[in-house]
Structure 1
Amino acid sequence: MRLLLRLLITAVTAACSDDGAPTGPPQVSSKLDESVQSALRASDTVDVIVLARTQLALGATALEEHIEDVASLPRATARAEAISRLQASAAAEQPPILTVLQGSPLVRPLWIANAVSARVTRETLDELVAVDEVRYVYASPVNPGDFAAPIPFTGVPGIKAPFDAGSKPVAWNLEEIRAPEAWDMSTGEGVLIALLDIGLNTAHPDLVGALWVNPGEVAGNGMDDDNNGYVDDVHGYDLARASPNIVAGGPHGAYVSGILVGDGSDGTVLGVAPDAEILSLTIATDTDFALAMEYAVDAGADVVNMSFSIPNLANLRGFWRLVADHAAAAGLVLTSGAGNFAQNRPTPVQLRIPEGIPSVLGVGGVDRDGQPTSFSSRGPVEWSTVRFYEDHPLPQGLMKPDVAAFPGPGYPILDPPGGYIDPNTGVAGNSFSGPQAAGVAALILSVAPDLNAWEVKDIIESTATDVGPPGKHNDTGWGVIDAAAAVSAATGSP
């Protein structure tokens, strides 16, 4: 995970002018973010995201306005309409941008936000800012791995048996959020969760039957059978390494995936939604985040869990918010742990990205007594300085987190080689609170698939059990998630 975050926040170095000294910046334009101008003071080339003019939901109230427009539509219809509009805007406005970028390396068009990423020279920047279809330009590292040669991957499809807890032990955090009671109504069947992490252990008995299998891909043939731009993406894709091999290099993704879908095949039930499926995506840059959201939408995912936290993005926070809002409009429920920075960061920067985005369900942490843990990040979050948004000014800011769950330690957790870490005396953090809420979202959508992403978020918040002063507050949000109450509310059951 440290490598992932380092890649996300480290700029790519580029060439200087012929005499070894960078020349002055291009003519200053209101379309150029300060990060671009700063990068050009050190180099003659810069990696950028070029934001085009027309966006589905750009601005402080834009997503709310979109929600009002589609309020009567079931999720599948609202999703299709959002995708159509997003792709139409990209098709209409990107051609003149791509014309200017001819000859530039590492060009990557996007549609989940109407944008293009590339590595550009000063001269190309001057041309870009003169294009009417260009709204804004951010400095953002391009991942050369996105353009690497494909690596064949055979995949490990397993056979999924219907979930039956039977007499198996159930992790106490699931008991606390009333997941076993929810299983009488829903186990997450038919729901696909996209896991944005560092991969997972594809051989663990609790996970092997839960892996999504891309129906359009032939495993191991070294070809892009479904023409989605990715070779052998049988169970997802590692965008950071341009590889379909989703086997994790560390345990973090295995821990998280166990909380999402661990069905107890190896002995202990850890997963909130044991009949849901997961696909794995790994990212390394801001552009990769957008590509991952596009992949999740194209694959038909319903929920996205993001157990990472990125600081110091400045105005790029707005790009992440735009992508997240568009992903929500396209049917994805987004969840993220609230971060673990209460002891070493001041407010309002304890909740970062993506957990600080309004449309993302940010999940804080409590101990077994319902008290906020010492490390769980507290709100508020400030957005008033972010270009195109300028909302939620301090001191009130945006109240976050939205809800709370149990970050550990204490409950058993999946051991990547097999079996479980039990007793678990050290694995803890809000990385493990977020997937508990993602699992509840999966339980809801399994029995109420027509609910839109924002409706699922509202249900999880409104059915949470308050553990502090009445109402929402900046340490535990609306309270501890309640899976049974949420599923009951979604189905209209008493």
Structure 2
Amino acid sequence: MRRTSGIGVLTMAVILSGLIGCSQNDHKKSVRINYQTPQNTNLGYIVRIAPSEHSILERNFSGNSSAINASQGLYHVNAKSEIEIANLLPHAQIQPNLLLGSKKKDAGFEWLAMEANRSKPQFPNCVVNEDEPPTAVIKLLNKSQLKSRNGYLEINQVLRLSGRESSAQNYRWYVMAPGEIRPQGPFSREGEFDIRVDELGHYEIGLFVQDSRGVCAITVVPINVTSNPKLSVLNPKDRPLLSEMDQKFEHLKLINAEKAWDISQGEGQIIAVLDSGVNYNHPFLNSKILVNEKEIPDNGKDDDGNMLVDDYLGWDYVQNDGAPFDDAGHGSHVAGLAAAEVFGVAPKAKILPIKVADESGLADMAKATAAIYYAIHRGAKILNLSFGGPLNPNTPREALRPVLDAFEFANQNGVIIVTAAGNGILDQIGNPIPLDNDIIPQIPASLPFLNNITVASLDASFNLAPYSNYGARSVRVAAPGGTKEEPLWSAKQENSKGILFWGAEGTSMAAPITSGIVALVRSVSPKLSVPEINKVLLASGPDSKNLLGKTQSGRALDALDAVNKAKNLKPSSPSPEISAIKITANKSHRR
């Protein structure tokens, strides 16, 4: 899902290489798609240094390094190579940063090419089997007038684009806006095209060209759009009425949340949401944001001395600033399920927004590790991580050392980390194939720690959702996560249409349901240890034959049952026996 930042793509005329979707010997296809490949796929390095080397790091990598955990001498360094770092810091421990998940590419423009290949009326007849496609060049004409930040364009700006340097006679401009699965258009048949980017997230702009030979091609460039608004002061009395939405917030009924609220509503708990950010000006999330009272907002100073300037609302590790605003919608949805006013599982818990994933939902190890330490130091006892993907079977355990140490630090400090089990893979026609995490480990879901509560997803009938990963040893519990037919509704990111809610499905949704339940449990029994919380969760909810051998608990998680068990649990109760798979480089993990 990860895609390159957009503004860097359009800073000059770009001729895209790497032909996708049509070979020179394929007589059935005629339209080739050229995708901009990332100009820099280097994720940097995670470096551990001695205190005596800090000044060397600061002197040589100022502006290209950030602290992951300064007290441990752990930093993320952007450098061209490991050798560059080793030459300057010969005693440092250096390892490549890793992407937590796998990149996926939207298929929207493949659909457009197929439509052209079928000679649909809206397309010119394209000549088949030419050796060379047309040259397609997209140039940004007003680059100097645009505001951008770390590869992201500020919202509500007009881009003036030109394709006149292409070897083409016919032009068609298409746009796939954030949230869309197919490109719309054509918006223009001229050589130049203006577009206002008025939505947050990931755009793809495509230029369809045909040259004098009649040969066609499509060039696609990505544009990422962001915004960093200040925290608004909203009056809860001004929130819209939700009577028409009551029937859509089915997740509360499925877990008996409203009955559990008579005992606990998550008072005194902090849920850190490590995700794509949070729409902290959403009317049902605004009052739930945990502000940093040790920081004076927007004064340009690090008032609390944690090496982060103006982290009043949390922190954005993607753009490295104190405005973790949601560009993608995923993090707002997750935060809403966990602790929104009215429809969150723990409506009186606080939300700590930490942005670690960009517009396509992937995070890297450096960002995730730094965010875990940051969340713990901000007082969060519950961390929600709804991201990740399969672990490369060739990855040695030592390569995961930074994130393993962070999980262990959390475990020693009584912090619960809730992770999503994963949504499997898709077959060739788009049907989900769930994975057994016992065989194919996921990262971070399969990290073997008692405080790692990995969650599978249930449908409305308490069956394992058709997409949900599972694992008799590696997946702890199961909670509602919705399906395509019956999604879970929650908060939406800021958008031009003023839409407040949207439906989604996935183990990403089951995880915050579980985080909310953990907040209810900790609120009613704040002294419960990590083993005791596990005991409560594993015993809560009705048995399900459908979950036998799929999760450790074999139950459908229930908030009311969990709260009652927590309230009645004696601190001296024995700890549950928890098993977890080992993270190894064993190639038998391949399926």
TM-score w.r.t. structure 2 length?
A: 0.56
**Which residue identity is paired with 1:485?**
D
**Which residue identity is paired with 2:522?**
L
More helix by share: 1
Secondary structure in 2 matching 1:440: helix
Match of 2:35 in 1: none
| Pairwise CA distance, 1:228 | 2.0
Match of 1:483 among 554, 559, 562: 559
Asked if 1:302 corresponds to 2:402, the answer is: no
Match of 1:368 in 2: 460
Secondary structure in 1 matching 2:538: helix
**Which residue identity is paired with 1:115?**
L
Match of 1:189 in 2: 267
Within a 5 Å distance, the mapping from 1:260-339 to structure 2 comes to 260-264=338-342, 270-283=343-356, 284-312=363-391, 314-315=395-396, 316-339=399-422
Larger CA deviation: 274-283 vs 308-317: 308-317
Secondary structure in 2 matching 1:458: helix
Secondary structure in 2 matching 1:412: strand
Answer yes or no: is the 8 Å Cα contact 2:481–2:509 preserved in 1. Answer: yes
Answer yes or no: is the 8 Å Cα contact 1:154–1:219 preserved in 2. Answer: no
**Structure 2 CA distance for aligned equivalents of residues 46 and 246 of structure 1:** 20
**Structure 1 CA distance for aligned equivalents of residues 335 and 480 of structure 2:** 15
**Which residue identity is paired with 2:326?**
A
Match of 1:474 in 2: 550
- Of structures 1 and 2, the one with the larger relative CO (CA 8 A, separation 6+) is 1
Match of 2:45 in 1: 48
Asked if 1:354 corresponds to 2:431, the answer is: no
| Pairwise CA distance, 1:262 | 2.1
Per-residue displacement from partner, 1:134-172 (whole Å, max 9, x unpaired)?
6x5421169x97xxxxx98632355679xxx99993722
Name stretches of at least 5 consecutive residues in structure 2 with no aligned partner. 6-39, 100-148, 151-226, 357-362, 426-431, 571-591
Match of 1:156 in 2: 232
Within a 5 Å distance, the mapping from 1:84-483 to structure 2 comes to 94-96=50-52, 98=54, 101=57, 103-105=59-61, 106-111=64-69, 115-118=74-77, 119=79, 121-122=82-83, 125=86, 131=91, 137-140=94-97, 154-158=230-234, 169=246, 171-264=249-342, 270-283=343-356, 284-312=363-391, 314-315=395-396, 316-341=399-424, 343-344=432-433, 347-348=436-437, 350-359=440-449, 360-379=452-471, 399-409=473-483, 410=486, 411-417=488-494, 421=501, 424=503, 427-468=504-545, 473-475=549-551, 477-483=553-559
**Structure 1 CA distance for aligned equivalents of residues 52 and 492 of structure 2:** 51
| Pairwise CA distance, 1:492 | 1.2
Match of 2:155 in 1: none
Larger-gyration structure (1/2):
2
Per-residue displacement from partner, 1:267-293 (whole Å, max 9, x unpaired)?
xxx210001110111124322222211
The number of equivalent residue pairs is 377
Distance 1:400 1:221, change over 3 A: same
Secondary structure in 2 matching 1:361: strand
**Structure 1 CA distance for aligned equivalents of residues 83 and 565 of structure 2:** 55
**Structure 1 CA distance for aligned equivalents of residues 545 and 72 of structure 2:** 38
**Structure 1 CA distance for aligned equivalents of residues 82 and 564 of structure 2:** 56
Answer yes or no: is the 8 Å Cα contact 1:414–1:421 preserved in 2. Answer: yes
TM-score w.r.t. structure 1 length?
A: 0.67
Answer yes or no: is the 8 Å Cα contact 1:377–1:475 preserved in 2. Answer: no
Answer yes or no: is the 8 Å Cα contact 2:421–2:468 preserved in 1. Answer: yes
Distance 1:98 1:217, change over 3 A: closer
RMSD of Structure 2 on Structure 1 (CA): 3.7
Distance 1:220 1:125, change over 3 A: closer
Per-residue displacement from partner, 1:310-360 (whole Å, max 9, x unpaired)?
334523334322211212222321001111006447545655111111221
| Pairwise CA distance, 1:246 | 2.2
Answer yes or no: is the 8 Å Cα contact 2:228–2:325 preserved in 1. Answer: no
Answer yes or no: is the 8 Å Cα contact 1:193–1:303 preserved in 2. Answer: yes
Answer yes or no: is the 8 Å Cα contact 1:366–1:476 preserved in 2. Answer: no
Per-residue displacement from partner, 1:350-400 (whole Å, max 9, x unpaired)?
5511111122111001212221111101236xxxxxxxxxxxxxxxxxx12
Per-residue displacement from partner, 1:62-100 (whole Å, max 9, x unpaired)?
xxxxxxxxxxxxxxxxxxxxxxxxxxxxxxxx2255477
Distance 1:258 1:172, change over 3 A: same
Distance 1:467 1:294, change over 3 A: same
Distance 1:160 1:487, change over 3 A: farther
Distance 1:46 1:336, change over 3 A: closer
Distance 1:224 1:137, change over 3 A: closer
